[in-house]
With several copies, the nearest count.
Chain A
């Protein structure tokens, strides 16, 4: 990758230079003041760069050479499923008949899109064992909030019903500010290994997050859960396999506990890549599932988005799904929009990240059900290979087979040789790999969370393991310059960034 540094586009800017050109539109010219009252007109132009197209292309191409990516190499970032994405999905997303469609076009102009979304809904429902889905949420976190708002609306409606009040309709759906007060359910239980978005979403949904600890097996501590679960719990929110890469073996019991107390079971689908075609959240007892299409269903992550976080629900939550949603109309020949009776409302300006949805469907078609199972099998195989291989050089806190990712610890390395998880990560960058996720989940000290994904070959895994072993056998010398030393920039001063906030320029 490109060392040195690259000025910002504004620094490259020279007054009067221009890249843009516009077609002739032949309209009679007319002073802008005759259209728009002068008090609305700006007295200066926004300070944007002025560059030639050549300078623009040079700049962003050079920037791209300062960026690591899946296409350049292994990216074993745990919890992120940074797999290789087949290239044809880019061509799918570029199809003019998909990309150039206005979201408010009348139904006869969008039959293809409506069918596409319905088809993916069908396939995903089958895959996770649910009854219906919304594709409005633009990412996993948005899916979580959407799912929790549906949980909320569900309980509110139940309460209304049980009080003999006027159930159904927008009021219950909207789950107004006082919703949980009336339902009496104010809490959502999450394990201490949960991803940060889970507790944050719980709060945004107006619930109190109650954390239950993990036990020595790395799973939810059943006893603690039993204690926590009471009539004020709206939902238990889990991911399975959990963020330690371990399957919650007691999931059936957990589901029973939750359901017995009238709580719903929420599935954070970020880790679905482990279990495609092997076991279904629906069959485990989950009521609501959000998926990260940008993880399991192979949308490249785009440096941090766009994603897509559809929420799938069981029969009894169908009525609460956000609307409008696409559906096959009564005649069975035409697709149209419908709003579920007790819909919570909209969760997106339009219909979600539609082009990501299209990519995901293409991925499903490419793999088929057997192919998807193979995806998971290889993802799990690769993670276990890494786990086994690194057993001797790192600590593996939980001595059992993992699923699609493995959490190892540099705790001993740190005490023995002064090598922290951060040091290991930064040295791995030097070796030409991306680093694993570090210091997450929070419950493992000096955690390194490795998710090799199914698309990496044994050769790549070997090279990765060798690099990690090489690093483990090193030490941190006091005065040496810290790693990484061969990357486009050296160790970045993060503290300075926060201290002297420079966020434009």
Chain B
């Protein structure tokens, strides 16, 4: 091939690179890694070394941690279908004629997300819950022209953190509304004495359930949005939608969520799946990819990315979102998983999780020194107050074989470090919960 190019060495291909910049010596990438690399066997052994230095959930630590990442099941059917190499090794479906597989799967994904949210239109995925929230706020600002955001403190702390990192540069400001006994204290009359001061918000953000697992009064949030003509953004848990009212039914304008519980392993936090749905009249402001159904030249049904004019590659600096690569494979996974569950399965895992969580909280709160952190009704996650710092309990419980939960951020617990957030999914059995309660009783005394 070199001779075809009239060259003698591969080096000559790089003649455009100034001599001075070119690397002379071999780079040292990692201790113990030879320059010529490792064989597959050695790579697997090396990577297995990391894997064995972790304590995964399962036999070695029964998972009671949630906080936005849940130990839910996925059947082998979901895994094996989502692993098909046609899905795994294709690019964004720019050529619809050879990408009907991915496109139709995304179309079906969009359909399930609208069903879960009770809204009209879903995009083809965003990175994660946090990025979905950020995009929702951008949309609200673009629609309302107002840059102030009222955000419930019950929204996932990390999502709020991401919003506070990403948005101020675009002159968007966030104001946090505190929780009272687990639910947002909504100002009743906007601009009134009892309400929040100043600028009218472009967006109101609330989580359902919220970070403490509690069920917020979304109707109140809707009323406030109506009063202020703000966009109401509801952060939702897709599994809860098996039994809870949908954001759409509560009047949300935008619903965002974390899709991980729909068939993705915990994965140390990623790849996850940002869920995003909104009203049809906001379609042209939708961030991210959108797949539409159309026809091919012979009139057969066909799918294609549509409303592309919104996107960064066309609108460039005038785009309201920069998303390009999203989480397509996770969206396909979710579509498969929801197909496996169906309405009945989703309702059943939601129901079981709720029942198990309530059982668990009752048992825990029967222990000396343990009590509920807040009184609001909850779905399948709840916070308790411990007699000793939560982190100590978490550490000790790990030795007992349990991932006990997550410390409630002191900002949500009047500065205390003794709050523990516990999630109970449909996978937890009576024996596991009873074992957990017994172990916790042991470590707190």
Which residues does chain B contribute within 8 Å of A97, judged by CB atoms?
A: 48, 50-54, 56
Q: Total number of A-B contacts with CB less than 8 angstroms? A: 736
- Selected from A179, A434, A496, the residue in CB contact (under 8 A) with B294 is A496
A88-B44, A370-B35, A491-B97 known; A200 and B89 CB under 8 Å?
Answer: no
Known A110-B268, A492-B302; 9 more pairs at CB < 8 Å: A40-B215, A45-B346, A61-B81, A87-B77, A103-B269, A105-B61, A138-B270, A355-B271, A504-B111
B93-108 interface bits toward A, Cβ cutoff 8 Å, 1 = contact, 0 = none? 1111111111011111
With A and B bound together, what is the CA distance between A30 and B361 in angstroms? 14
Within 8 A of A (CB), among B47-106: 47-58, 61, 63, 65, 67-69, 71, 73, 75-77, 79-81, 83-102, 104-106
Contacts of A176 in B (CB 8 A): 168
* CB-CB contacts below 8 Å: A363-391 with B: 364-371, 377, 380-382, 384-385, 388-389
How large, as a class, is the contact surface on chain B? 35 or more
Cβ of B41 to closest chain A Cβ, rounded Å: 4
Q: Does A36 contact B (CB under 8 A)?
A: yes
CB-CB < 8 A to A302: which residues of B? Answer: 87-88, 90, 327-330
**Contact A72 B13, CB 8 Å, known A104-B65, A138-B271:** no
Instruction: List the B side residues contacting A57 at CB < 8 Å.
Output: 77, 80-81, 85
Q: Are A503 and B110 in contact, CB atoms less than 8 angstroms apart?
A: yes
Q: Considering the complex, which residues of chain A in the window 12-59 have a beta carbon less than 8 Å from any beta carbon of chain B?
A: 13, 17-30, 32, 34-37, 39-42, 45-51, 53, 56-57, 59
20 residue pairs A–B, Cβ–Cβ below 8 Å: A6-B100, A19-B345, A25-B429, A28-B430, A88-B44, A110-B268, A113-B54, A116-B50, A139-B324, A196-B314, A202-B317, A247-B17, A302-B88, A305-B325, A309-B325, A362-B47, A381-B1, A488-B98, A501-B280, A505-B111
Leading 4 A-B pairs by shortest Cβ distance: A350-B269, A97-B51, A67-B101, A368-B37
Instruction: State A144–B156 Cα separation when bound (angstroms).
Output: 24
> Does any Cβ of B come within 8 Å of A325's Cβ?
no
Q: How distant is B307 from chain A, measured CB to nearest CB, in Å? A: 6
Task: Indicate if the CB atoms of A303 and B329 lie closer than 8 Å.
Answer: yes
Q: Are A95 and B354 in contact (CB under 8 A)?
A: no
A48 and B85 contact, Cβ closer than 8 Å, known pairs A123-B29, A369-B29, A371-B37: no
A463 at the interface (CB under 8 A from B): no
Contact A361 B121 (CB under 8 A): no
A493–B36 Cα distance when bound, in Å, is 49
Chain B residues within 8 Å of A72, by CB? 86
Among residues 159 to 176 in chain B, which have CB atoms less than 8 Å away from a CB atom of chain A? 159, 161-162, 164-166, 168-173
Q: How many Å lie between the Cα of A490 and that of B296 in the bound state? A: 5
- Nearest neighbor of A53 in chain B, beta-carbon distance: B77
- Contact indicator B317/A200 (Cβ below 8 Å): yes
With a cutoff of 8 Å between Cβ atoms, the chain B residues found around residue A384 in the complex are 5, 13
Complex contact B300–A123 (CB within 8 A): no
A61 to B, closest residue via Cβ: B85
- List B284-314 residues whose CB lies under 8 Å from chain A: 289-298, 300-304, 306-308, 311-314
Cα-based distance from A128 to B355 in the complex (angstroms): 41
Do the beta carbons of B4 and A141 come within 8 Å of each other? no
List the B residue with the shortest CB-CB distance to A70.
Answer: B89
Cα separation A46 to B344 with both chains bound (whole Å): 9
| Contact B115 A48, beta carbon cutoff 8 Å | yes
Chain A residues, Cβ within 8 Å of B38: 23, 365-366, 368
